[in-house]
Amino acid sequence: MYEYDMDFELVFHPEGEDSVTVRARRGESVLDVAKRVGVPIDAPCSGNGTCGKCKVRVVAGQAGAEGHTHISPEELREGYRLACATVVSGDLTVVVPEAALAYRNRIRVGDMKGLIEGAAFQSFRAAIPDRASECTLASLPVQLKEPDLHDARADAERLRRGAADALGCKEEEVSIDPSALRKLPRLLRESAFSVSCLLRRRDGESRILDVSARPEFPLGLAVDIGTTTVSALLADLSTGEPIAFGSAGNGQIRYGADVINRLIESAKPGGLERLRTAVTAECVAPLARRLCERVDRDADSVCRIAVAGNTTMAHLLLGVYGNHLRMEPYVPAFFGVTGLSGFDLDIGVHPGGDAFLAPAVGSYVGGDITAGVFASGIHRREDISLFVDLGTNGEIVLGNREFLVACACSAGPAFEGGEISCGMRATDGAIEACAIDESTGAPRLSVIGTTGQKPAGLCGSGLIDAVGELFRCGIIDARGKFLGEGERIARDEWGMGRYILCRASEAANGLEISLNEADIDNFIRAKGSVYSAIRTLLGTMEMGEGDIDGVYVAGGIGSAIDIEHTIMTGMLPNIPRTKYHYIGNTSLLGAYGMLISESARESVSRIADGMTYLELSSCPGYMDEFIAACFLPHTDGSLFQ
Amino acid sequence: MYEYDMDFELVFHPEGEDSVTVRARRGESVLDVAKRVGVPIDAPCSGNGTCGKCKVRVVAGQAGAEGHTHISPEELREGYRLACATVVSGDLTVVVPEAALAYRNRIRVGDMKGLIEGAAFQSFRAAIPDRASECTLASLPVQLKEPDLHDARADAERLRRGAADALGCKEEEVSIDPSALRKLPRLLRESAFSVSCLLRRRDGESRILDVSARPEFPLGLAVDIGTTTVSALLADLSTGEPIAFGSAGNGQIRYGADVINRLIESAKPGGLERLRTAVTAECVAPLARRLCERVDRDADSVCRIAVAGNTTMAHLLLGVYGNHLRMEPYVPAFFGVTGLSGFDLDIGVHPGGDAFLAPAVGSYVGGDITAGVFASGIHRREDISLFVDLGTNGEIVLGNREFLVACACSAGPAFEGGEISCGMRATDGAIEACAIDESTGAPRLSVIGTTGQKPAGLCGSGLIDAVGELFRCGIIDARGKFLGEGERIARDEWGMGRYILCRASEAANGLEISLNEADIDNFIRAKGSVYSAIRTLLGTMEMGEGDIDGVYVAGGIGSAIDIEHTIMTGMLPNIPRTKYHYIGNTSLLGAYGMLISESARESVSRIADGMTYLELSSCPGYMDEFIAACFLPHTDGSLFQ
């Protein structure tokens, strides 16, 4: 008995960071210990041993070599193990390689190409009616009389009087937020009692949210909280202009790649708080800080926030228990919340700033979709559109100005690089497009990044291309199995075939980039779930593919999506290519609309109120559609001729 | 050079607590190190070596014996040292005795005798007009339909609909606070979808602040933040009834007994945050928790708070830089702040609850006085009253329903037991009254606490009694010096006389309780500053003592105050004794009024707006008045005949 109660010492050496020494109990997996103490080891499959991403190297102590999938015999000899399959039975020292830390705070602050500069964005902005007229936030310079023994009014009363005089209102109608008050005494004396106030005017009252030495434009932050990736956009609220854009991996990824595993983790003791801080303190807060640094401002001067995310992400962001989302009858704690402030989000922005959350319509059709539909504009069109958001989950909306019906399909994380052996997000090093020479079988790759960037992995759009090309060239069959041999084709010791997209010597991190039959199988299930959802949705409305006037494809799949390949693989309907529009991260665009416009917020609310949510699992026929769609391109080949 | 940069190890052993090991730099005092690392050593004189309260025992390491006042040769041999006079020159291990930790979190939750049950309190409550009519907070039971696959509305939307139906309003007019939302999913399922909402109704909107399984009355907290003592009262806001009362030492005491030393400390790096948390996290938050425990509730269900405190305390509570308060032209950062919520106070109560702060009228006439005047009722009287608040500072208000003029005098902390060698707050063990037999010179003591409670020290009212009796019996002269010898009179090695109130063998902690000439000198300066302030205030209004129709004495001085002794010592005017009324902690009473009544809040605001603040230091003649008052009873004996 004694031995079973004993604790061992476990030392983690995350590459490039300080090591962490903790106590571990016999029988715990190294991954469980890491989750418990906050060492961010990537584990999209939540520790089922299926994804191979939690590969660590044991440098001291005993670790058995059994049951470690995804690890070559040579790697096994070098001490590589899956953290999820390594059970603690003594002291251990474990190196966590950079690759296994992949999703930690990797903030990418970039230009706004694709997102902001496109014609689609301009027309989106033009469609927001009051983007310049919503002047509830304004900057007001005030010159105050310096105090003396005959005029010893307090700083706050002095400022309120000065602001009231400048506004032509009563002093009682002006109030000061405590966070502005905290800055006031020193600021007044450093600036000879000449300051600029950031005012929020509402219901005849003016609240001084912030004070500064020089006039500063009010900052707003739009955030898309994706299951895999968090994106944010900083805007100047005086004009509505976006000024900085960035993204980061969602820190929750180490608790599972999909929302179900996150919800399960959140129901464990302390789990909700771990998941909340993994996205707030570890992800959105540093991202906001970095964006503000670009314009030399502090994150706490962000005085309005708009957030869109799926229903699970919204729950975890606010620290609200959402485990009922995954259990019949699939009831979330909330669809929408009003009256939120920066304080409630706990992301380092102004605690008194207004915060808006895009409302959900169902457990699996969240604020990312209501905001996304708003950004797509399909709710304003007379003709029938299909909105397809391909993120970690796939959501599909069919409709026009008269009706909107939505459903969610469990596409899995393949389109964001999850559960794909060499998958990655659409960031630097990702293969975003790929063509295969039919005669030689050799690939031609297009890689995200500056010229000369070596490939590091495969993102969603690259995956679609690769599978499409392998199928087109006859290298794989309709079930995704490799048909023959070739220079680029290899098989592992268990006989599973793979296609080598990039040899180890040419890859960014010296590891071969390939696509194996398990990856292709994951892709086929993902694309099958999308296509069958579209078919079911059309069927419910007694429509066919021919009734669709436009398809709007959104999501983090990468802007280089090749529509031909999506149709070739049987993922999207075989309709004229000109009807297809790739419109990027509509969740972020919609949040941005909500940030700069009151009428946009009202539109998103109306979209949520008017949208019908279709639960696919309760649709008769959906399962048959799905099974039929799990071929390349489809069991019914006539659909793709 | 090397040696000067070296760090030493300092181990603190606070009695009854875990020891703390820290690094210290050569030349730091032990008290400085303690302040830096948060070991709460009592230091009312801020480390000037004058109060003797920071007595610690060095049990290992070198500590010189020079410059340690208040320490007997025997104690020196036993290792006792003043922490402020002990300079680090090597590793040290220091025991911090219970006595030196005196002010740490000593929470006293008691009955409400004196404060609540007196006739004065009943008439005070009766004078609050809308104490029962202010029903902005209400409890609403709601029975909801359980969700199923055909009705998968979210919990929040379900509750809002249910509440709106019960209220007969629109669903959009009902919102949910995030902290209620966080409790909702589990609560609904544990209580078969039958819950009780705590609603705040304002401007036609209803906000669900809290949810519970059974109806619970709304809790409110009134707090008086004194420089030395923090008092709080928990009330049932459905009826306005007080339900629990408690007090605790202000954790800031280790940074100095008076507001000036606190402000100096707050201006050091990190000082403002240290002082803020010393009163919030260390004092008000645990006090609120303890009071709520008495009624089996959590502190976060306190959904309204009213706070009164002096101007410095209000600044430090909110974490607002107030150092300009102590520098000409004595300008605070604010007199009042509106729109505060529980979040801004950071004391563990409901973050979305409304918080009210009594407004100040000057740097040294704060919200404790505006709330106190309200509680005294002098602002409603036709005849002229004098309001005297004797806390760590003394504040005096003269006036009636037509005018109010106020001033502050630097009485020092003597009336709360500060800077008195055996001084203590008016809690268990404090000598609150004392008489001396003129023939034998022996004292008769009255001690706070249950029968048989041994004395531990002297509180304010006991101090007044002791000095008054010593003077009446001719044991001390008009300058406070001992005139002869006696059984109870002793002198130390430097010849300073003292009167032994209680021998070591009879005292609670085995230490003699005595009053020495330095203590008496402190008292004389304190009482002189009060009397001269009254004279100056009357002079300014061209009035005399005969114009005063009533004197209302408030403050933490102890309810056993003997008016005869206050007059005998020349502290309060020599007018008919029937004009005197001791009215207790009016700051807390006033805060309580603000807690339960909107019209009380308006009255306090009007009192603040209408009160004239008189800066004594700029009054010609005040200094002469003060010097003349520094005798027993006064240089001009005719004033007290």
DSSP B40-101: ----TTTTSSSS-TTEEEEEES----TT-TT--HHHHHTTEEEGGG-B-SS-EEEEE-GGGG
pLDDT range class, residue A113, cuts 50, 70, 90: low
Residue whose tokens read 């809290």: B210
pLDDT range class, residue B141, cuts 50, 70, 90: very high
Which pLDDT tens digit goes with each residue over B122-137?
777 777 766 544 558 8
At B135 the three-state DSSP class reads coil
Which residues are CB-neighbours of A366 under 8 A, at least 6 positions away?
A308, A309, A310, A311, A312, A313, A314, A358, A360
pLDDT value, residue B109:
67
Residue whose tokens read 């990312």: A368
Residue B546 CB-half CA count within 13 A: 1
Which pLDDT tens digit goes with each residue over B217-248?
999 999 999 998 899 999 999 888 888 999 88
Residue B348 has pLDDT above 90, yes or no: yes
pLDDT value, residue B100:
76
Residue numbers in A near B155 (CB within 8 A): 324, 331-334
Residue B576 CB-half CA count within 13 A: 7
Residue numbers in A near B177 (CB within 8 A): 339
**Which residue from A184, A338, A618 is facing B333, i.e. has the nearest CB?**
A184
CA separation for the pair B448, B442 (Å, rounded):
20
Which pLDDT tens digit goes with each residue over A439-462?
999 999 999 888 888 998 898 889
Phi/psi class of residue A333: alpha, beta or left (left: φ > 0; alpha: ψ in -120 to 50)? alpha
Q: Which residue has the higher pLDDT, A426 or B133?
A: A426
Residue whose tokens read 């989302």: A325
A324–chain B nearest CA distance, Å = 8
Q: Give residue A485's identity as a one-letter amino acid code.
A: E
Contact yes or no for B333 and A185 at CB 8 A: yes
**Which residue from B153, B330, B335 is facing A157, i.e. has the nearest CB?**
B335
**Which residue from B155, B321, B335 is facing A333, i.e. has the nearest CB?**
B155
DSSP letter (8 states) at residue B196: E
Phi/psi class of residue A339: alpha, beta or left (left: φ > 0; alpha: ψ in -120 to 50)? left
For residue B158, the chain A residue with the least C-alpha distance is A334
Phi/psi class of residue A316: alpha, beta or left (left: φ > 0; alpha: ψ in -120 to 50)? alpha
A328–chain B nearest CA distance, Å = 7
Residue A632 CB-half CA count within 13 A: 26
- In the predicted model, what is the mean pLDDT of residues B579-596? 91
A190 CB neighbour count, 10 Å cutoff: 10
Residue whose C-alpha is closest to residue A474's, from A486, A483, A487, A462: A483
b/e sequence A144-155, b meaning 16+ C-beta within 10 Å: beebeeeebbbb
Which pLDDT tens digit goes with each residue over B430-487?
898 999 999 999 999 999 888 888 998 898 889 999 999 999 999 999 999 999 888 9
CATH number attached to the domain at B137-212: 3.10.20.880
Longest CA–CA separation in chain A, Å: 95
Residue numbers in B near A203 (CB within 8 A): 203
Residues of each domain in chain A carrying CATH 3.30.420.480: 115-130+219-357
Residue numbers in A near B320 (CB within 8 A): 178, 181-182, 184-185
CATH topology of domain B3-100: Ubiquitin-like (UB roll) (3.10.20)
CA separation for the pair A119, A113 (Å, rounded):
11
Which pLDDT tens digit goes with each residue over A578-619?
999 888 889 999 999 999 999 899 999 999 999 999 988 888
Which pLDDT tens digit goes with each residue over B598-636?
989 999 999 999 999 998 888 888 999 999 999 999 999
Contact yes or no for B333 and A155 at CB 8 A: yes
Which residues are CB-neighbours of A473 under 8 A, at least 6 positions away?
A436, A438, A441
Domain B368-413+524-640 = CATH 3.30.420: yes
Which pLDDT tens digit goes with each residue over A210-252?
999 999 999 999 999 999 889 999 999 988 888 999 988 898 9
Residue numbers in A near B318 (CB within 8 A): 178, 181-182
Contact yes or no for B156 and A184 at CB 8 A: no
**Which residue from A147, A176, A332 is facing B154, i.e. has the nearest CB?**
A332
pLDDT value, residue B118:
57
The two structure tokens encoding residue B465: 């009694």
Residue whose tokens read 């249950």: B450
Domain B115-130+219-357 = CATH 3.30.420.480: yes
Residues of each domain in chain A carrying CATH 3.10.20.30: 3-100
Q: Give residue A246's identity as a one-letter amino acid code.
A: G
Q: What is the DSSP string of A493-562?
A: TT--EEEEEE-GGGSTTS--EEEEHHHHHHHHHHHHHHHHHHHHHHHHTT--GGG--EEEEESTT-TT--
pLDDT value, residue B113:
54
Residue numbers in B near A147 (CB within 8 A): 329, 331
Which residues are CB-neighbours of A140 under 8 A, at least 6 positions away?
A163, A166, A167, A196, A197, A198, A199
Residues of each domain in chain A carrying CATH 3.10.20.880: 137-212
Q: Which of A450-459, B339-348, B513-522 has the lowest mean pLDDT?
A: A450-459
Q: Which residue has the higher pLDDT, B363 or B102?
A: B363
B6 CB neighbour count, 10 Å cutoff: 10
Residue A510 has pLDDT above 90, yes or no: no
pLDDT value, residue A3:
41
Contact yes or no for A331 and B186 at CB 8 A: no
Contact yes or no for A152 and B331 at CB 8 A: yes
Residue B39 has pLDDT above 90, yes or no: no
